[in-house]
Structure 1
Amino acid sequence: MTETAQPSRGVRLPRDARRAQLLEAAQHVFVHNGYHAAAMDDIAERAGVSKPVLYQHFPGKLELYLALLETHGNELVRRVREAIASTTDNKQRVRAATGALYEFVASEGQAFRLVFESDLRGEPAVEKAVETALSDCIDAITEAVTADAGLDAERARLLAVGLVGLSQVTARYWLDTRDTISQDEAVSLISTLAWKGLAGFPLQTP
Protein backbone atom coordinates (compact mmCIF):
# COMPACT_ATOMS: atom_id res chain seq x y z
CA MET A 1 0.00 0.00 0.00
CA THR A 2 1.21 3.47 -0.79
CA GLU A 3 0.02 6.78 0.51
CA THR A 4 -2.46 8.56 -1.73
CA ALA A 5 -4.36 11.80 -1.56
CA GLN A 6 -7.21 11.59 0.91
CA PRO A 7 -10.67 11.95 -0.64
CA SER A 8 -13.01 14.53 0.75
CA ARG A 9 -15.66 13.45 3.21
CA GLY A 10 -18.89 12.48 1.56
CA VAL A 11 -17.31 11.02 -1.57
CA ARG A 12 -19.06 7.72 -2.29
CA LEU A 13 -16.73 4.89 -3.27
CA PRO A 14 -17.42 1.29 -4.29
CA ARG A 15 -17.23 -1.00 -1.28
CA ASP A 16 -13.92 -2.62 -2.27
CA ALA A 17 -12.33 0.76 -2.97
CA ARG A 18 -13.56 2.13 0.35
CA ARG A 19 -12.21 -0.90 2.18
CA ALA A 20 -8.81 -0.49 0.52
CA GLN A 21 -8.80 3.19 1.45
CA LEU A 22 -9.61 2.40 5.09
CA LEU A 23 -6.90 -0.27 5.26
CA GLU A 24 -4.35 2.16 3.86
CA ALA A 25 -5.26 4.76 6.46
CA ALA A 26 -5.19 2.16 9.23
CA GLN A 27 -1.78 0.94 8.15
CA HIS A 28 -0.35 4.44 8.43
CA VAL A 29 -1.80 4.93 11.91
CA PHE A 30 -0.82 1.47 13.20
CA VAL A 31 2.74 1.70 11.88
CA HIS A 32 3.34 5.17 13.29
CA ASN A 33 1.44 4.83 16.58
CA GLY A 34 1.43 1.12 17.34
CA TYR A 35 -1.75 -0.84 17.92
CA HIS A 36 -2.41 0.22 21.48
CA ALA A 37 -1.97 3.96 20.86
CA ALA A 38 -3.95 3.92 17.60
CA ALA A 39 -7.54 5.11 17.79
CA MET A 40 -10.43 4.53 15.43
CA ASP A 41 -10.93 8.32 15.46
CA ASP A 42 -7.40 8.74 14.07
CA ILE A 43 -8.00 6.14 11.35
CA ALA A 44 -11.31 7.69 10.30
CA GLU A 45 -9.72 11.13 10.16
CA ARG A 46 -6.77 9.82 8.16
CA ALA A 47 -9.17 8.19 5.69
CA GLY A 48 -11.35 11.28 5.48
CA VAL A 49 -14.50 9.45 6.58
CA SER A 50 -16.82 9.51 9.57
CA LYS A 51 -16.50 6.88 12.29
CA PRO A 52 -19.87 5.32 11.33
CA VAL A 53 -18.50 4.70 7.82
CA LEU A 54 -15.40 3.07 9.32
CA TYR A 55 -17.54 0.85 11.57
CA GLN A 56 -19.69 -0.18 8.62
CA HIS A 57 -16.64 -1.98 7.24
CA PHE A 58 -14.86 -3.04 10.43
CA PRO A 59 -16.66 -3.66 13.73
CA GLY A 60 -13.60 -2.78 15.79
CA LYS A 61 -9.89 -1.96 15.89
CA LEU A 62 -8.82 -5.60 16.25
CA GLU A 63 -10.79 -6.67 13.17
CA LEU A 64 -9.19 -3.85 11.21
CA TYR A 65 -5.72 -4.87 12.37
CA LEU A 66 -6.36 -8.52 11.52
CA ALA A 67 -7.56 -7.55 8.03
CA LEU A 68 -4.27 -5.73 7.48
CA LEU A 69 -2.27 -8.70 8.75
CA GLU A 70 -4.13 -11.05 6.42
CA THR A 71 -3.61 -8.73 3.44
CA HIS A 72 0.12 -8.37 3.97
CA GLY A 73 0.64 -11.94 5.08
CA ASN A 74 -0.93 -13.12 1.83
CA GLU A 75 1.28 -10.71 -0.12
CA LEU A 76 4.41 -12.03 1.57
CA VAL A 77 3.45 -15.65 0.82
CA ARG A 78 2.63 -14.76 -2.80
CA ARG A 79 6.06 -13.19 -3.28
CA VAL A 80 7.89 -16.17 -1.82
CA ARG A 81 5.90 -18.71 -3.86
CA GLU A 82 6.51 -16.73 -7.05
CA ALA A 83 10.21 -16.55 -6.22
CA ILE A 84 10.43 -20.33 -5.75
CA ALA A 85 8.52 -20.96 -8.97
CA SER A 86 10.58 -18.47 -10.99
CA THR A 87 13.45 -20.89 -11.67
CA THR A 88 14.44 -24.52 -11.41
CA ASP A 89 18.03 -23.61 -10.55
CA ASN A 90 18.41 -24.24 -6.82
CA LYS A 91 21.02 -21.55 -6.23
CA GLN A 92 18.81 -18.98 -7.94
CA ARG A 93 15.81 -20.20 -5.95
CA VAL A 94 17.63 -19.40 -2.72
CA ARG A 95 18.49 -15.93 -4.01
CA ALA A 96 14.95 -15.34 -5.27
CA ALA A 97 13.34 -16.41 -1.99
CA THR A 98 15.78 -14.27 0.01
CA GLY A 99 15.12 -11.37 -2.35
CA ALA A 100 11.35 -11.74 -1.91
CA LEU A 101 11.65 -11.35 1.85
CA TYR A 102 13.97 -8.36 1.48
CA GLU A 103 11.62 -6.74 -1.01
CA PHE A 104 8.69 -7.18 1.37
CA VAL A 105 10.64 -5.50 4.17
CA ALA A 106 11.82 -2.69 1.87
CA SER A 107 8.40 -1.87 0.48
CA GLU A 108 4.74 -1.96 1.44
CA GLY A 109 4.90 1.20 3.56
CA GLN A 110 6.63 -0.59 6.43
CA ALA A 111 3.87 -3.20 6.45
CA PHE A 112 6.52 -5.69 7.59
CA ARG A 113 6.33 -4.06 11.03
CA LEU A 114 2.75 -5.28 11.33
CA VAL A 115 3.85 -8.83 10.52
CA PHE A 116 7.24 -9.06 12.24
CA GLU A 117 7.11 -6.39 14.96
CA SER A 118 3.50 -6.30 16.13
CA ASP A 119 2.96 -4.97 19.64
CA LEU A 120 -0.10 -7.21 19.82
CA ARG A 121 1.60 -10.60 19.52
CA GLY A 122 0.00 -11.70 22.79
CA GLU A 123 -3.40 -11.65 21.11
CA PRO A 124 -4.17 -15.24 19.91
CA ALA A 125 -5.78 -14.14 16.64
CA VAL A 126 -2.81 -11.93 15.78
CA GLU A 127 -0.33 -14.64 16.71
CA LYS A 128 -2.20 -17.11 14.51
CA ALA A 129 -2.25 -14.72 11.53
CA VAL A 130 1.49 -14.06 11.77
CA GLU A 131 2.36 -17.72 12.26
CA THR A 132 0.16 -18.69 9.30
CA ALA A 133 1.97 -16.30 6.97
CA LEU A 134 5.42 -17.48 8.06
CA SER A 135 4.36 -21.13 8.01
CA ASP A 136 3.04 -20.80 4.45
CA CYS A 137 6.37 -19.28 3.36
CA ILE A 138 8.22 -22.13 5.04
CA ASP A 139 5.91 -24.67 3.37
CA ALA A 140 6.74 -23.29 -0.08
CA ILE A 141 10.48 -23.58 0.54
CA THR A 142 10.11 -26.97 2.22
CA GLU A 143 8.43 -28.39 -0.89
CA ALA A 144 11.35 -27.31 -3.06
CA VAL A 145 14.00 -28.56 -0.61
CA THR A 146 12.25 -31.92 -0.16
CA ALA A 147 11.99 -32.46 -3.91
CA ASP A 148 15.47 -31.27 -4.84
CA ALA A 149 17.67 -32.31 -1.93
CA GLY A 150 16.17 -35.72 -1.26
CA LEU A 151 15.52 -34.92 2.42
CA ASP A 152 12.56 -36.07 4.44
CA ALA A 153 9.89 -33.50 5.27
CA GLU A 154 11.07 -32.78 8.84
CA ARG A 155 14.69 -32.09 7.85
CA ALA A 156 13.68 -30.10 4.78
CA ARG A 157 11.34 -27.98 6.91
CA LEU A 158 14.09 -27.25 9.42
CA LEU A 159 16.27 -25.91 6.59
CA ALA A 160 13.34 -23.87 5.29
CA VAL A 161 12.77 -22.38 8.75
CA GLY A 162 16.45 -21.46 8.81
CA LEU A 163 16.30 -19.70 5.43
CA VAL A 164 13.15 -17.74 6.32
CA GLY A 165 14.52 -16.80 9.73
CA LEU A 166 17.90 -15.78 8.33
CA SER A 167 16.32 -13.69 5.59
CA GLN A 168 13.72 -11.85 7.64
CA VAL A 169 16.02 -11.07 10.59
CA THR A 170 18.85 -9.81 8.38
CA ALA A 171 16.42 -7.87 6.17
CA ARG A 172 15.08 -5.99 9.18
CA TYR A 173 18.65 -5.25 10.30
CA TRP A 174 19.62 -4.19 6.78
CA LEU A 175 16.77 -1.69 6.64
CA ASP A 176 18.70 0.52 9.09
CA THR A 177 21.96 0.22 7.12
CA ARG A 178 20.76 0.44 3.51
CA ASP A 179 22.52 3.76 3.02
CA THR A 180 25.80 1.82 3.06
CA ILE A 181 24.70 -1.57 1.67
CA SER A 182 22.39 -1.76 -1.34
CA GLN A 183 19.45 -4.14 -1.37
CA ASP A 184 20.98 -6.18 -4.20
CA GLU A 185 24.27 -6.53 -2.35
CA ALA A 186 22.53 -7.49 0.88
CA VAL A 187 20.45 -10.15 -0.88
CA SER A 188 23.60 -11.46 -2.60
CA LEU A 189 25.50 -11.70 0.69
CA ILE A 190 22.74 -13.48 2.58
CA SER A 191 21.72 -15.81 -0.24
CA THR A 192 25.38 -16.79 -0.72
CA LEU A 193 25.62 -17.56 2.98
CA ALA A 194 22.44 -19.65 2.81
CA TRP A 195 23.43 -21.39 -0.43
CA LYS A 196 26.84 -22.48 0.79
CA GLY A 197 25.05 -24.17 3.65
CA LEU A 198 22.34 -25.71 1.50
CA ALA A 199 24.92 -26.80 -1.07
CA GLY A 200 25.96 -29.43 1.45
CA PHE A 201 22.77 -31.25 0.46
CA PRO A 202 23.29 -31.96 -3.25
CA LEU A 203 20.51 -32.41 -5.74
CA GLN A 204 19.29 -35.99 -5.78
CA THR A 205 18.67 -37.36 -9.26
CA PRO A 206 16.55 -40.42 -10.02
Structure 2
Amino acid sequence: MTDAQDATGPRARGLRMARAERRSQLLAVALDLFSTEGFHHVSMDDIADRAEVSKPVLYRHFPSKLDLYLAVVDEQGEALLSAVERAVAPIEAGPIGRGEGRAVVAAVVHAYLAFVQVAGESSTLLFESDVTHDAQVRVRVEHAAAEATRRIADVLAAVTGRDRADADVLASALVATAQGAATYWLRRGDGQGVERVVELVTDLQWRGLAGLVRPDFPYGDA
Protein backbone atom coordinates (compact mmCIF):
# COMPACT_ATOMS: atom_id res chain seq x y z
CA MET A 1 0.00 0.00 0.00
CA THR A 2 1.31 3.46 -0.84
CA ASP A 3 1.18 6.47 1.44
CA ALA A 4 -1.25 8.12 -0.91
CA GLN A 5 -3.69 5.24 -0.76
CA ASP A 6 -4.20 5.40 3.01
CA ALA A 7 -3.76 9.14 3.59
CA THR A 8 -6.31 11.87 3.37
CA GLY A 9 -6.32 15.22 1.63
CA PRO A 10 -5.74 16.29 -1.96
CA ARG A 11 -2.04 16.83 -1.42
CA ALA A 12 -1.49 13.20 -0.33
CA ARG A 13 -3.65 11.84 -3.14
CA GLY A 14 -1.64 13.80 -5.68
CA LEU A 15 1.64 11.95 -5.04
CA ARG A 16 1.79 8.16 -5.04
CA MET A 17 4.98 6.66 -3.64
CA ALA A 18 5.97 3.24 -2.35
CA ARG A 19 6.92 3.20 1.32
CA ALA A 20 10.68 3.01 0.75
CA GLU A 21 10.55 5.78 -1.83
CA ARG A 22 8.51 7.99 0.48
CA ARG A 23 10.92 7.39 3.36
CA SER A 24 13.86 8.41 1.17
CA GLN A 25 12.04 11.56 0.12
CA LEU A 26 11.27 12.51 3.71
CA LEU A 27 14.86 11.92 4.74
CA ALA A 28 16.12 14.13 1.92
CA VAL A 29 13.74 16.94 2.87
CA ALA A 30 14.62 16.64 6.55
CA LEU A 31 18.33 16.61 5.74
CA ASP A 32 18.02 19.89 3.90
CA LEU A 33 15.98 21.58 6.62
CA PHE A 34 17.96 20.31 9.60
CA SER A 35 21.28 21.21 8.01
CA THR A 36 20.23 24.76 7.13
CA GLU A 37 17.90 25.64 10.01
CA GLY A 38 19.04 23.40 12.87
CA PHE A 39 17.07 20.83 14.82
CA HIS A 40 15.39 23.25 17.19
CA HIS A 41 14.13 25.59 14.47
CA VAL A 42 12.48 22.95 12.30
CA SER A 43 9.06 21.48 13.07
CA MET A 44 7.32 18.41 11.75
CA ASP A 45 4.86 20.81 10.09
CA ASP A 46 7.78 22.38 8.20
CA ILE A 47 8.95 18.99 7.00
CA ALA A 48 5.46 17.84 5.99
CA ASP A 49 4.86 21.08 4.11
CA ARG A 50 8.17 20.90 2.24
CA ALA A 51 7.60 17.23 1.37
CA GLU A 52 4.00 17.95 0.39
CA VAL A 53 2.58 15.18 2.54
CA SER A 54 0.07 15.11 5.36
CA LYS A 55 1.32 14.91 8.93
CA PRO A 56 -0.18 11.41 9.40
CA VAL A 57 1.99 10.21 6.53
CA LEU A 58 5.08 11.79 8.08
CA TYR A 59 4.38 10.32 11.52
CA ARG A 60 3.74 6.91 10.00
CA HIS A 61 7.35 6.84 8.90
CA PHE A 62 8.88 8.71 11.83
CA PRO A 63 7.06 8.81 15.20
CA SER A 64 8.83 11.99 16.29
CA LYS A 65 11.09 14.76 15.08
CA LEU A 66 13.96 13.26 17.04
CA ASP A 67 13.45 9.87 15.35
CA LEU A 68 13.60 11.60 11.99
CA TYR A 69 16.68 13.59 12.96
CA LEU A 70 18.54 10.50 14.12
CA ALA A 71 17.59 8.64 10.93
CA VAL A 72 19.13 11.49 8.94
CA VAL A 73 22.24 11.45 11.11
CA ASP A 74 22.58 7.67 10.74
CA GLU A 75 22.32 7.96 6.95
CA GLN A 76 25.01 10.64 6.83
CA GLY A 77 27.18 8.62 9.16
CA GLU A 78 26.94 5.55 6.96
CA ALA A 79 28.10 7.59 3.97
CA LEU A 80 31.16 8.85 5.86
CA LEU A 81 32.02 5.43 7.23
CA SER A 82 31.83 3.89 3.77
CA ALA A 83 34.38 6.43 2.57
CA VAL A 84 36.70 5.68 5.49
CA GLU A 85 36.36 1.92 4.92
CA ARG A 86 37.45 2.38 1.31
CA ALA A 87 40.43 4.43 2.49
CA VAL A 88 41.80 1.85 4.93
CA ALA A 89 41.03 -1.19 2.77
CA PRO A 90 44.41 -1.25 0.92
CA ILE A 91 46.42 -1.80 4.10
CA GLU A 92 44.10 -4.47 5.44
CA ALA A 93 43.96 -6.25 2.09
CA GLY A 94 47.75 -6.10 1.77
CA PRO A 95 50.43 -6.37 0.79
CA ILE A 96 51.38 -2.70 0.81
CA GLY A 97 54.54 -1.40 -0.82
CA ARG A 98 57.04 1.04 0.64
CA GLY A 99 55.86 4.61 0.27
CA GLU A 100 52.22 3.62 -0.11
CA GLY A 101 51.37 4.45 3.48
CA ARG A 102 51.15 8.13 2.63
CA ALA A 103 48.56 7.36 -0.02
CA VAL A 104 46.41 5.64 2.59
CA VAL A 105 46.61 8.66 4.89
CA ALA A 106 45.69 10.85 1.92
CA ALA A 107 42.71 8.61 1.22
CA VAL A 108 41.44 9.05 4.79
CA VAL A 109 41.80 12.84 4.58
CA HIS A 110 40.17 12.83 1.16
CA ALA A 111 37.25 10.81 2.56
CA TYR A 112 36.40 13.68 4.90
CA LEU A 113 36.88 16.38 2.26
CA ALA A 114 34.79 14.42 -0.25
CA PHE A 115 32.08 13.95 2.35
CA VAL A 116 31.68 17.67 3.09
CA GLN A 117 32.00 18.44 -0.62
CA VAL A 118 28.92 16.31 -1.31
CA ALA A 119 27.04 16.83 1.95
CA GLY A 120 27.71 20.57 2.24
CA GLU A 121 26.15 22.09 5.33
CA SER A 122 24.50 18.80 6.16
CA SER A 123 27.92 17.53 7.27
CA THR A 124 27.42 19.67 10.37
CA LEU A 125 24.82 17.13 11.51
CA LEU A 126 27.77 14.87 12.28
CA PHE A 127 30.43 17.44 13.10
CA GLU A 128 28.54 20.23 14.87
CA SER A 129 25.13 18.90 15.90
CA ASP A 130 22.96 21.19 18.01
CA VAL A 131 21.27 18.21 19.71
CA THR A 132 23.90 17.04 22.17
CA HIS A 133 22.37 17.84 25.56
CA ASP A 134 21.04 14.31 25.91
CA ALA A 135 23.68 11.62 26.42
CA GLN A 136 21.87 8.99 24.34
CA VAL A 137 21.42 11.43 21.47
CA ARG A 138 25.05 12.49 21.69
CA VAL A 139 26.18 8.87 21.35
CA ARG A 140 24.11 8.44 18.19
CA VAL A 141 25.31 11.72 16.69
CA GLU A 142 28.95 10.92 17.43
CA HIS A 143 28.67 7.29 16.30
CA ALA A 144 30.20 7.88 12.86
CA ALA A 145 33.25 9.67 14.26
CA ALA A 146 33.70 6.95 16.87
CA GLU A 147 33.46 4.18 14.29
CA ALA A 148 35.83 5.95 11.90
CA THR A 149 38.32 6.38 14.73
CA ARG A 150 38.01 2.70 15.65
CA ARG A 151 38.64 1.53 12.08
CA ILE A 152 41.66 3.79 11.66
CA ALA A 153 42.98 2.66 15.06
CA ASP A 154 42.74 -0.96 13.85
CA VAL A 155 45.11 -0.14 11.02
CA LEU A 156 47.44 2.02 13.11
CA ALA A 157 47.83 -0.68 15.75
CA ALA A 158 48.95 -3.13 13.06
CA VAL A 159 51.25 -0.72 11.25
CA THR A 160 52.92 0.95 14.23
CA GLY A 161 52.99 -1.97 16.64
CA ARG A 162 51.70 0.33 19.39
CA ASP A 163 49.20 -0.93 21.95
CA ARG A 164 45.50 -0.27 21.41
CA ALA A 165 45.35 2.69 23.78
CA ASP A 166 48.11 4.48 21.85
CA ALA A 167 46.50 3.61 18.51
CA ASP A 168 43.18 5.05 19.70
CA VAL A 169 44.86 8.35 20.59
CA LEU A 170 46.65 8.54 17.23
CA ALA A 171 43.48 7.70 15.30
CA SER A 172 41.49 10.28 17.23
CA ALA A 173 44.06 12.94 16.35
CA LEU A 174 43.99 11.97 12.67
CA VAL A 175 40.19 12.08 12.54
CA ALA A 176 40.03 15.41 14.38
CA THR A 177 42.57 16.96 11.98
CA ALA A 178 40.82 15.65 8.86
CA GLN A 179 37.41 16.69 10.14
CA GLY A 180 38.65 20.14 11.17
CA ALA A 181 40.29 20.73 7.80
CA ALA A 182 37.16 19.57 5.99
CA THR A 183 34.94 21.90 8.01
CA TYR A 184 37.34 24.79 7.49
CA TRP A 185 37.39 24.17 3.75
CA LEU A 186 33.60 24.10 3.65
CA ARG A 187 33.23 27.35 5.55
CA ARG A 188 36.33 29.32 4.58
CA GLY A 189 38.05 27.56 1.75
CA ASP A 190 39.38 30.85 0.35
CA GLY A 191 39.64 29.35 -3.09
CA GLN A 192 41.72 26.34 -2.05
CA GLY A 193 40.90 23.27 -4.07
CA VAL A 194 40.08 20.01 -2.32
CA GLU A 195 43.22 18.28 -3.62
CA ARG A 196 45.44 21.05 -2.27
CA VAL A 197 43.87 20.76 1.17
CA VAL A 198 44.28 16.97 1.08
CA GLU A 199 47.95 17.40 0.14
CA LEU A 200 48.65 19.85 2.97
CA VAL A 201 46.90 17.85 5.68
CA THR A 202 48.42 14.59 4.45
CA ASP A 203 51.91 16.11 4.64
CA LEU A 204 51.24 17.17 8.21
CA GLN A 205 49.90 13.78 9.27
CA TRP A 206 52.26 11.50 7.35
CA ARG A 207 55.43 13.22 8.57
CA GLY A 208 54.44 12.21 12.08
CA LEU A 209 53.10 8.75 11.29
CA ALA A 210 56.03 7.71 9.11
CA GLY A 211 58.29 7.78 12.15
CA LEU A 212 55.93 5.49 14.05
CA VAL A 213 55.78 2.64 11.53
CA ARG A 214 57.29 -0.40 13.21
CA PRO A 215 60.71 -1.48 11.86
CA ASP A 216 59.52 -4.99 11.02
CA PHE A 217 56.36 -3.98 9.16
CA PRO A 218 55.95 -6.54 6.31
CA TYR A 219 56.00 -4.52 3.11
CA GLY A 220 54.82 -6.25 -0.04
CA ASP A 221 57.96 -5.36 -1.99
CA ALA A 222 60.40 -6.48 0.69
Which residues in structure 2 correspond to 1:10-49 (within 5 Å)? 10=13, 11-49=15-53
Task: Give secondary structure in 1 for the equivalent of 2:142.
Answer: helix
Q: How many residue pairs end up in the alignment?
A: 199
Task: Give secondary structure in 1 for the equivalent of 2:17.
Answer: coil
CA shift, 1:70, in A, is 0.9
In the other structure, the counterpart of 2:147 is 136
In the other structure, the counterpart of 2:87 is 83
Q: 2:156 aligns with which of 121, 125, 145?
A: 145
In the other structure, the counterpart of 2:8 is none
Q: Please report the RMSD computed on the Cα atoms of aligned residues, expressed in angstroms.
A: 1.5
Which residues in structure 2 correspond to 1:126-205 (within 5 Å)? 126-203=137-214, 204-205=216-217
Task: Give secondary structure in 2 for the equivalent of 1:111.
Answer: helix
CA shift, 1:12, in A, is 1.8
Aligned-partner Cα distance in 2 for 1:163–1:113: 18
In the other structure, the counterpart of 1:3 is none
Structure 2 length-normalised TM: 0.85
Aligned-partner Cα distance in 2 for 1:77–1:43: 27
CA shift, 1:197, in A, is 0.8
Moved more, 70-79 or 58-67: 70-79
Structure 2, unaligned stretches of length 5 or more?
A: 1-10
Aligned-partner Cα distance in 1 for 2:152–2:120: 26
Runs of 4+ in structure 1 over 6 Å off: none
Structure 1 length-normalised TM: 0.91
Structure 1, unaligned stretches of length 5 or more?
A: 1-7
CA shift, 1:177, in A, is 3.0
In the other structure, the counterpart of 2:6 is none
Aligned-partner Cα distance in 2 for 1:110–1:20: 19
Aligned-partner Cα distance in 1 for 2:117–2:48: 27
In the other structure, the counterpart of 1:94 is 105
Aligned-partner Cα distance in 1 for 2:137–2:127: 11
Aligned-partner Cα distance in 2 for 1:126–1:184: 34
In the other structure, the counterpart of 1:64 is 68
